[in-house]
């Protein structure tokens, strides 16, 4: 009896154990992305003959094979997860040879490389000539700004607008062009149209503070409402700037001289030298809204109209108001200091109590008691005071003009026994004619204290001295500047005033915006205003807000500035002989020399499509594995039974021999 049956059954049990081990591994990787199920291959052991017949020694495991069929695809929502719908493998680069996978569980590392989550190998990108490089999106995380080169204003501005009327849009919203300068900064330029004579309009471009950013342009329209051909296309040169605050200006502005004027003549004052201590500039323009020059200093003087100008030119130096709005630095409206009308007259002195009743003081023929009232227009009006005794301790005071005509009064004056005015007689409100046919309300004050008042005493010299307040019109005599660049004005009437502040501007960088402005679609017809801005190009610098992989493996980026562009392309590999691939664990494979590799782009040349935000699941099928396990179980049981029968037969033979 041969022992070969024992060995054959044992080899069967070993083989089925290997099969069970393989099925167990397949089932355990049921949820492993990109896992490929394996099959165990068996081979009959070589038979041999010993002269007593042929013998068969069982089975052996003759290796295993990988099932490269595709698994199901599932969505993950992670934009760096990738799956392949069709043929192909992702290529992973690292030290040594490249590896290949269909798992597609990728992430971005700190340097912007797309890497495999498990091995940290870098995913390959496809470059020119189907060459490979590491896929990196760092250079695509931001997009540079693009300067504005063109804009369009179209619609209608109401031809019926009265002269001086302003049209800025069809509603309360300002008409704004978002201009990107050559430094990539967005500038809000507000556009308005000011009606001039006839069919002419002045187009004004200003910043948010109301400062001109480009020269005012006159545009005209024909009888049919269409814009003239020569005004339809304009070239705008915008030089952005910021105006220094008063507090910042004092750190750089210095001017210790003064302008001294004769008889209010602006040109009578010699020029002064102005300089700045920092990289800030004065602004000078041909006219308000004209092309600006930026200068660090020079000689400035006043022209005949009171504009501060660069000496020897007609360039007007700019000033700034409290809201930061630029305007010509001009003293034209500050040449004269207005008169201050009389508001109060004080009359102190003494009346002779010994005069007869109904006697006048001063008497006829004597010098009048007079004072001058300052009227609103700066002219003076002489007023005479006349006192008439009514009875003991009772007087009247009357105000008359130089012709003796009544101006105001009479007002009753009552004195006590000591010659002191009674309380009701100390102050009166007098109405005195003003220059504009109205009246000044003037306080007539006759008492301030017992020692300073109008009295009626015997032992005091007779006489009354009235004094009126108010100031006459003053001419500008002197201008100085404080450390903030604010002008301080002194006038011939002794008054002082604060004038405009000289503008100091910071250009910061050499920022500019030069763009073509089309007005060809603008009309001026009677009716509504319906002006709008369109076709403005240029954009600010942007950062990536989202990215995704397209079917061809190219990454599509979207940016915060609304721009979109594409980036690197994932490389794909395919093999003529997939059986030459060797599993390296982690759903990774290496390729042997006879694999017949081809490198290319997804969705072309036989390669499958890339599916973003997805992964490929394991291709293990439980039903198949359960069927395999049942077969393995039955085979193992049968092999075990054969071994038991063989063992019993040997044991019976042994017992029979021993019993002999």
Query: Token digits for 27?
Result: 């089932």
CA 284 to CA 309: how far, in whole Å?
8
Tens of pLDDT, residues 514-547: 899 999 999 999 888 888 898 999 999 999 999 9
Confidence of residue 1 (pLDDT cuts 50, 70, 90): very low
pLDDT at residue number 47? 66
How many CA atoms lie less than 13 Å away from 52 in the CB half-sphere? 4
pLDDT at residue number 290? 65
Q: Give the contacts of 362 (CB within 8 A, at least 6 positions apart).
A: 368, 369, 386
Whether residue 170 is predicted with pLDDT greater than 70 in this model: the reply is: no
The DSSP call for residue 626 is H
Whether residue 2 is predicted with pLDDT greater than 60 in this model: the reply is: no
CA 411 to CA 94: how far, in whole Å?
113
Whether residue 474 is predicted with pLDDT greater than 50 in this model: the reply is: yes
Tens of pLDDT, residues 88-110: 999 999 888 999 999 999 999 99
Confidence of residue 36 (pLDDT cuts 50, 70, 90): confident
Task: Name the residue with higher pLDDT: 403 or 47.
Answer: 403
117, 109 contact by CB (below 8 A): no
Q: Give the contacts of 636 (CB within 8 A, at least 6 positions apart).
A: 12, 13, 16, 17, 20
CA 442 to CA 431: how far, in whole Å?
6
CA 496 to CA 494: how far, in whole Å?
7
Whether residue 549 is predicted with pLDDT greater than 90 in this model: the reply is: yes
Mean per-residue pLDDT for 591-595? 90
Mean per-residue pLDDT for 260-289? 84
- Which residues are paired to 413 by β-bridges? 395
CA-based R_g, the chain, Å: 53
Query: Token digits for 470?
Result: 């108010």
474, 337 contact by CB (below 8 A): yes
Whether residue 364 is predicted with pLDDT greater than 90 in this model: the reply is: no
Query: Token digits for 143?
Result: 């997009």
CA 649 to CA 660: how far, in whole Å?
17
Query: Token digits for 536?
Result: 């403005």
Q: How many residues does the chain have?
A: 660
Averaged pLDDT score across all residues of the chain: 86
Mean per-residue pLDDT for 412-435? 91
Which sign does the torsion angle of CA 514, 519, 521, 525 carry?
A: positive
Confidence of residue 50 (pLDDT cuts 50, 70, 90): low
Query: Token digits for 171?
Result: 């509603």
Task: Name the residue with higher pLDDT: 568 or 620.
Answer: 568
52: burial class by Cβ within 10 Å (0-12, 13-18, 19+)?
Answer: exposed
User: Would you say domain 344-468 falls under CATH 3.40.640.10?
Assistant: no
Tens of pLDDT, residues 56-76: 666 776 666 778 888 888 899
| Residues 150-240+511-536, CATH architecture | Sandwich (2.60)
Whether residue 660 is predicted with pLDDT greater than 60 in this model: the reply is: no
Tens of pLDDT, residues 105-142: 999 999 999 999 989 999 999 998 889 999 999 999 99
Range(s) for CATH 2.60.98.20 in the chain?
150-240+511-536, 344-468
Mean per-residue pLDDT for 157-180? 83
458, 438 contact by CB (below 8 A): no
CA 528 to CA 100: how far, in whole Å?
68
Tens of pLDDT, residues 203-253: 888 887 777 877 788 999 999 999 999 999 998 888 777 788 888 888 888
């Amino acid at each position: 009896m041969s022992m070969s049956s024992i060995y054959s059954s044992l080899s069967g049990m070993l083989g089925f154990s290997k099969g069970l081990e393989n099925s167990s591994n397949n089932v355990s990787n049921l949820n492993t992305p990109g896992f490929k199920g394996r099959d165990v291959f068996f081979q009959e052991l070589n038979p041999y003959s010993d002269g007593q017949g042929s013998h068969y020694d069982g089975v052996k495991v003759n290796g295993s094979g990988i099932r490269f069929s595709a698994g199901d695809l599932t969505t993950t929502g992670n934009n760096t997860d990738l799956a392949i719908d069709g043929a192909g493998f992702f290529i992973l680069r690292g030290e040594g040879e490249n590896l290949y996978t269909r798992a597609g569980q990728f992430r971005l590392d700190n340097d912007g490389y797309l890497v495999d989550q498990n091995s940290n190998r870098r995913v390959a990108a496809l470059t020119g000539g189907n060459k490979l490089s590491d896929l990196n999106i760092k250079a695509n995380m931001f997009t540079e700004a693009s300067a504005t080169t063109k804009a369009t204003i179209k619609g209608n501005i109401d031809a019926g607008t009265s002269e001086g009327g302003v049209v800025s849009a069809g509603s309360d919203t300002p008409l704004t062009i978002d201009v990107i300068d050559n430094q990539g900064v967005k500038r809000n330029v507000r556009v308005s149209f000011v009606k001039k004579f006839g069919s002419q309009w002045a187009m004004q471009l200003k910043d948010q503070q109301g400062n001109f950013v480009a020269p005012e342009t006159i545009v005209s329209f024909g009888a049919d409402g269409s814009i003239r051909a020569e005004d339809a296309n304009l070239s705008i040169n915008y030089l952005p700037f910021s105006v220094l605050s008063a507090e910042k200006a004092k750190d750089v502005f210095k001017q210790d001289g003064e302008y001294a004027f004769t008889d209010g003549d602006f040109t009578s004052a010699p020029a002064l030298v102005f300089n700045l201590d920092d990289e800030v500039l004065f602004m000078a323009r041909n006219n308000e809204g004209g092309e600006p020059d930026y200068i660090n200093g020079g000689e400035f003087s006043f022209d005949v109209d009171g504009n501060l100008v660069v000496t020897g030119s007609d360039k007007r130096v700019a000033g700034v108001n409290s809201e930061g709005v630029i305007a010509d630095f001009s003293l034209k409206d500050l040449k004269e200091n207005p008169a201050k009308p009389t508001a109060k007259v004080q009359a102190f002195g003494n009346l002779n109590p010994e005069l007869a009743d109904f006697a006048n003081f001063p008497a006829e023929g004597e010098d009048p008691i007079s004072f001058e009232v300052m009227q609103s227009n700066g002219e003076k009006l002489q007023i005479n005071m006349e006192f008439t005794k009514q009875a003991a301790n009772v007087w009247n005071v009357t105000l008359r003009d130089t012709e003796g005509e009544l101006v105001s009064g009479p007002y009753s004056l009552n004195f006590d026994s000591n010659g002191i005015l009674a309380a009701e007689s100390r102050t009166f409100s007098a109405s005195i004619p003003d220059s504009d046919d109205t009246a000044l309300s003037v306080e007539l004050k006759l008492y301030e204290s017992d020692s300073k008042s109008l009295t009626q005493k015997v032992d005091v010299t007779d006489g009354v001295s009235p004094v009126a307040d108010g100031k006459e019109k003053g001419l500008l005599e002197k201008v100085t500047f404080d450390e903030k660049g604010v002008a301080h004005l002194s006038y011939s009437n002794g008054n002082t005033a604060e004038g405009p502040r000289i503008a100091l501007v910071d250009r910061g960088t050499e920022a500019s915006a030069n763009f073509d402005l089309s007005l060809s679609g603008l009309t001026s017809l009677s009716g509504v205003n319906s002006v709008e801005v369109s076709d403005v190009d240029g954009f600010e610098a942007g950062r990536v807000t989202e990215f995704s992989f397209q079917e061809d493996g190219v990454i599509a980026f979207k940016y915060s500035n609304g721009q979109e562009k594409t980036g690197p392309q994932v490389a794909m590999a395919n093999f003529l002989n997939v059986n030459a691939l060797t599993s390296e664990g982690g759903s990774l494979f290496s390729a042997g020399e006879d694999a017949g590799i081809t490198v290319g782009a997804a969705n072309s040349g036989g390669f499958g499509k890339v599916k973003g935000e997805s992964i490929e699941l394991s291709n293990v099928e439980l039903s198949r594995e359960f069927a395999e396990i049942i077969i393995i179980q039955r085979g193992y049981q049968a092999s075990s039974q054969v071994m038991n029968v063989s063992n019993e037969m040997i044991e019976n033979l042994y017992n029979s021999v021993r019993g002999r």
